[in-house]
Each structure stands twice: as C-alpha cells, then as structure tokens.
Amino acid sequence: MALPTETVYGLAADALNPEAVTKIFEAKERPRFDPLIVHLPNKEALGEIAIVESKVARKLTEKFWPGPLTIIFPKRENVPDIVTAGLETVALRMSAHPIFREIVRKLNRPLAAPSANRFGRISPTTAQHVFDELGGRIPLIIDGGATEHGIESTIVQVTNEAIKVLRRGPITDEMLRPFGELCEQSSSPTISAPGQLPTHYAPRTKLIVLDDLRDFSPPPGKRVGALCFSFVAAVAGRGPASYHGSTSKPRPATVATSTPAGFIGFATMRRLSERSDLREAAANFFRMLRELDAEKLDLIVAERLPEEGIGAAINDRLRRAAAK
Ligand code: TXA
Ligand code: MG
C-alpha cells in the first residue's frame, strides 16, 4: 500500500512480517542491501523494536517526532533482517501526516516504508507520481494530495552523543545543532545507504548543476530545460524583466513556472520558488524535476540553491541526480 507522509509518498508494509517486506523490495526493484525506514505507530513502540541508550537521541525524538526526522538505533531481535539488510541498526521515524498517522495507529504495527518509487529514481510527492512509478505493481495507493516537505526525512545517527547527518532533509543542521555536536559525514560511504550513494534520485534526462544559469547558453538545436531557484536570480539581465518581474502575490505553480519556448534559449523552465523560499523550493523540487524529465529534453540544467537550511538538502539531491 502506498500512502502519503509529510515528506514523500511511502510504500508501506508490516515491518515485522518478512514476507510483506519482501514485496516492497520486489515492487521497487530495490536491492536487498538497502535497508528500509520503519515508521512507528506511537512513541511507546520505540523501545519494543530498538534499544535507546543515547540521551541525545531520546531528546531528538521528543523534539522532532512526529516529523521528518529518521534516527538510527541499535535494533532488537524482532526486527527482521530483510528490513535492516542484515545491519544491527534500524532506521526509525514517526510520520506527522494525518492520514499516515491514522492508518499506522489503526494497524498498531510498525510500518516499513521506503519512498514509493522504483529504485534510484525520483521520489514521489503526489499519488499520480506513485502510480506512474508503481501502477499495476501494488494493490492500493492512498491519495492525500501533494506532500508538504517534498524531500525525504533527515537521517541521523547518534554516536557518543555526537550527531552525524547521514541524509540531509527538512530537519536542518541549524535545527539539530542545539541538541549536540554535529560531526562531519565521512566522504567515503561506509554504510550501504543509497540515499547517500553518489547516484540517486536520477531523472532519465541528463542533468547538470551550475552555480549560475547566466553562465550557460543552450547550444543551438538542443532542447534544454532549466530548473532554477528564483527566476530573478537566474536570468536577471537576460530577458525582459517586466515579463517575469517578481510579484509579491504567489501565483499558481503552473503559471509561475512556465516560460515561453525559446525564451533565453531554453525550451522550458521551472522555477522552484518565485518568492525565493527554500521550503517552497523543496516542496516543488521532485515534482518539477519529474515534469522536466517528461518533456523529452536533451539536457536539464539546474541551478544550485543557497547552501543554507533545507537548500543544502536540495543541493545534495541535485548532486546525486546529476551523477550519472
Ligand atoms: O521521508 C522519508 O524518509 C521517506 C518516507 C516514505 O518516510 N522514506 C524514505 O525511505 O526516504 P528510503 O527507503 O527511500 O530511504 C531510506 C534511507 C536509505 O538511504 C537507506 O539506506 C537508509 O535510509 N537506511 C535505512 N536503514 C538504515 C540503517 N540502519 N543505517 C543507515 N542507513 C539506513
Ligand atoms: Mg528513496
């Protein structure tokens, strides 16, 4: 069953039932070495499947659960190996999405739920995306509209009371810092965590990432799509400013993000946030990447976002989407 969370749509199954979990791997074509995140029905369930020794980890659960933070804990015996890919740890979170919460509470079972996309592809932020990825392979998709955050949960591991961010997400470094020292992620991926693999979230179209879209001119005859943060920053001084001049009133995304063909040489363009809001950009990110990918372009050129707050998490995903 696919269902919405506050981050992206998940493909859920009873985490304590290895056969059910196997079906997740099959539907996603996900390699078995990639462990799943388990979503708890309530905070009491934490101690039933994990060992909680760290005070810092405990405080993080108190502050951020339910919400978009996943924490790695030493696991108890009842968690099947297929969930953790044989690791001694389990990734846990509690979703804040009202539909997810209601379902997991009613079932009163921990639910293993990775993002509801085929392995390595763009995470789904609408029920339609799930259908496009997994239609015909899963029995049920629950449509709860577009997800709030639009990118996957932050994943942390607490070791010796220091917080290591394994995957950046909606809970930013700035938000974590008051709870403990943040230690650098080692550049060599020692954990098999594809969210941390160099290639992930990949569109089918080739994608490159630039600091400034003004440095790029689409080659003649090539259909190039642009993904930029705020249009003004991207093409200031290039086109007729009056056409896309910023307005204080947010317009519907479909209007705000389309650009006439041929404008500054790009075949099409998506703007992540007209009002330069990083959270809005995150919420739009995977959807717009998917839309560009559907346009049969020769190339997608994405503009790097400010490396602050959730911008850093989007940049991480851009980097991995570009690494092919
Ligand atoms: O927002 C989210 O976290 C979404 C929603 C559906 O909850 N889920 C999600 O799951 O993004 P998935 O499977 O696409 O990504 C889970 C990531 C993977 O990179 C996996 O390798 C890592 O979590 N992971 C799972 N268990 C782990 C563990 N014990 N140690 C380290 N990484 C782990
Ligand atoms: Mg995923």
What count of other Cβ atoms lies within 10 Å of the Cβ of residue 140? 8
pTM beyond 0.75, yes or no: yes
- Mutate which of 25, 93, 155 to test ligand 1's pocket (most atoms within 8 Å of Cβ)? 155
Contact 24, 114 (CB under 8 A): yes
233, pLDDT greater than 60? no
Give CA–CA dist 95/105, Å, rounded.
Answer: 11
State residue 306's pLDDT score.
Answer: 96
pLDDT at 162 over 70: yes
Mean pLDDT, the chain, integer = 88
**Backbone φ/ψ region at 318: left (φ over 0), alpha (ψ -120 to 50), beta:** alpha
pLDDT band at 252 (very low <50, low <70, confident <90, very high): very low
Residue 255 has pLDDT above 70, yes or no: no
Least trusted range by pLDDT, from 205-209, 216-220, 315-319? 216-220
On the CB side of 260, how many CA atoms lie within 13 Å of its CA? 6
**Residue 169 tokens, joined:** 């997400």
Sheet strands (E) in the chain: 2-4, 9-11, 13-14, 37-39, 69-74, 89-93, 111-112, 154-159, 162-167, 182-183, 207-210, 224-228, 268-271, 299-303
Residue 92 alpha carbon to ligand 1 centre in Å: 9
Tell me the CA–centroid distance for residue 195 and ligand 1, in Å: 7
Query: Does residue 245 register a pLDDT over 70?
Result: no
In this prediction, residue 262 has a pLDDT band, given cuts at 50, 70 and 90, of very low
Q: Which residues lie near ion ligand 2 (Cβ < 5 Å)?
A: 115
Q: Taking residues 297-303, what's their average pLDDT?
A: 96
196 band by pLDDT with thresholds 50, 70 and 90? low
Ligand 1: atom nearest CA of 11 is 6
Q: What confidence category does residue 213 fall into, taking pLDDT thresholds of 50, 70 and 90?
A: confident
What per-residue confidence (pLDDT) applies to 231? 66
Q: Are strands 224-228 and 268-271 parallel, antiparallel or unpaired?
A: parallel
Query: Which atom from ligand 1 is nearest to the alpha carbon of 193?
Result: 21
- Ligand 1 pocket (Cβ < 6 Å) reads 5, 7-8, 10, 34-37, 70, 72, 84, 87, 89-91, 113-115, 152-153, 155, 166, 191, 193-195
Ligand 2 centre distance from Cα of residue 117 (Å): 7
Give the residue carrying structure tokens 């190039």: 224
Q: What is the pLDDT of residues 11-39, one digit of tens each?
A: 999 999 999 999 999 999 999 999 999 99
Span from the CA of 76 to the centroid of ligand 2 (angstroms): 24
Residue 284 in this model has a pLDDT that exceeds 60: yes
269 CA to centre of ligand 1 in angstroms: 31
- In sequence order, what are the beta bridge partners of 74? 89
Poorest-pLDDT segment among 52-61, 87-96, 161-170, 193-202: 193-202
The residue whose CB lies within 8 Å of the most ligand 1 atoms, and thus the one to mutate among 7, 9, 36, is 36
Task: Report the amino acid identity of residue 199.
Answer: T
261: its two tokens: 């063909």
Q: What's the pLDDT score for residue 199?
A: 63
What amino acid is encoded at 251 in this protein?
Answer: R
Backbone angles phi, psi at 190, to 5 degrees: -85, -25
The rounded distance, in Å, linking the Cα atoms of 121 and 21 is 20
Ligand 2 centroid, distance to 295 Cα (angstroms): 23
Tell how strand 182-183 and strand 162-167 pair up.
parallel
Q: ∠304-305-308 over CA atoms, to 5°? A: 135
> What's the pLDDT score for residue 186?
54
Residue located nearest, by CA, to atom 22 of ligand 1? 193
Give the separation between CA 274 and CA 272, rounded to whole angstroms: 7
Ligand lying closest to the C-alpha of residue 152: 1
Q: What is the pLDDT of residue 323?
A: 85
pLDDT given at position 285: 97
For β-strands 37-39 and 89-93, DSSP reports them as parallel
Helix (H, G, I), strand (E, B) or coil at 194: helix
318/308 Cα distance (integer angstroms):
15
Percent of the chain at pLDDT above 70?
Answer: 85
d(CA 235, CA 212): 9
- Give Cα separations from 48 to 38, 64, 73, 79, 156 (angstroms): 12, 19, 12, 10, 20
> Residue 276: which residues within 8 A CB-CB, separation 6 or more?
229, 230, 232, 233
Q: Residue 141: phi, psi to the nearest 5?
A: -125, 125
CB 5 within 8 A of CB 147: yes
Which residues have a Cβ under 8 Å from the Cβ of 265 and sit 6 or more positions away?
217, 218, 224
Nearest bound ligand to CA 155? Answer: 1
Higher per-residue pLDDT: 194 or 111: 111
Residue 94 has pLDDT above 90, yes or no: yes
Measure 220 CA to ligand 1 centroid, in angstroms: 41
- Per-residue pLDDT at 197: 61
What angle separates helix 278-293 from helix 127-134, to the nearest 10 degrees? 40
Mean pLDDT over residues 283-289, rounded? 97
